[in-house]
Amino acid sequence: MHNRSMAICWVFLLALVPLALPAHQQDSSPNTSTAEKQEAGPNLASVNAAVAVAGENELVFGKNANRSVPIASVTKVMTALVVLESGESLDEWLTFHKRHTPAAANAYSRIRIDSQMRRSDVLRIALMSSENFAAYTLARSHPGGFDAFIESMNAKARELGMAGTHFVDPTGLSADNVSTASDLVKLVNAAAAYPEIREYTTTEYFRARFRNPRYSLSFGNTNALVHRDSWGVALSKTGYLSEAGRCLVMISQMNGKKVVTVLLDSLGTRSPMGDAGRIKRWLDTGARGSVAAAARRYERERNASYATAGNNTVSVN
């Protein structure tokens, strides 16, 4: 009976560990501080980050994970969620009207004014290729119009418990679109319930066909990791603004599990991919890795900037 009780106890304890973590992360001591746990995590170039098992909102690792920062085109994951939850037909042809308000940043697009494309394809290129005119058109075509779409984005954020999140546009061109790394874990988990979002965000290449007039354009995915089978990317979105740095949210295979990775405010185009690799190796082996001195300087500068702006929640890994 004693052995049976011990076996049941071990099964219960193992159920509490969602991911096979490196040995140093399995310290169950209640006296281990948050800072100590973060210092035991991977070294990252990204200034803000979060890692969680897909489908769970509790973090395996966080770095400044509760700090609200600009998220650039990661915004489009929420845009997609609102579009799909609206119930509007994906087969409907949408018209690319001229913007009714100026874009907050460069919004160059190859798409011709007044041409049309099916909502499903508009959503696909907004997600895979981060096409800003496509994201804008999705919001403009929403029941109730553009402003109602933004209201729906913020209402969905509240519903998901994203307390550090606020949206003002559907593209991410505005630096006033802010969120936290931990909030974005919740968003990614919610978005992953939709097969359209999983498919569209991981489409490698797509030839989009328009009408009125009839023409076509080729689009590629902005995340190089979707082209690598070894990563098993199931959902992906990149983003960039000068105020936001390089950003990436992703679900991929790590250590035998599907893992949500959120990386915000990185220096350099490839920095988020490098950080994803460091997280993957850390989960597999416990190796913390290292980042370039330039990335460290960038991190110090960004943390100082956040502190000056009044957001001084800083944890250094």
Main-chain dihedrals φ then ψ at residue 74, nearest 5 degrees: -55, -25
The question of whether 37 is a catalytic residue gets the answer no
**Bridge partners, 50 (sequence order):** 62, 262
From 76, 186, 237, 280, the catalytic residue: 76
- Which of 37, 46, 63, 73 does the annotation list as catalytic? 73
Concatenated DSSP letters of 150-173:
HHHHHHHHHHTT-TT-B-S-SSS-
Pairwise CA distance, residues 249 & 223, whole Å = 10
> What are the residue ranges of helices labelled H in 42-145?
75-85, 119-128, 132-140
Q: Which residues contact 280 (CB under 8 A, 6 or more apart)?
A: 252, 254, 255
- Retrieve residue 268's tokens: 């350099």
User: Is 109 an active-site residue?
Assistant: no
289 within 8 A of 282, measured Cβ to Cβ: yes
Cα distances from 89 to residues 84, 85, 94, 310, in angstroms, run 9, 11, 11, 43
73 belongs to the catalytic site: yes
98 burial level (CB within 10 Å; 0-12, 13-18, 19+): exposed
Among candidate residues 129, 130, 152, 266, the one labeled active-site is: 130
Q: Annotated catalytic sites, by residue?
A: 73, 76, 130
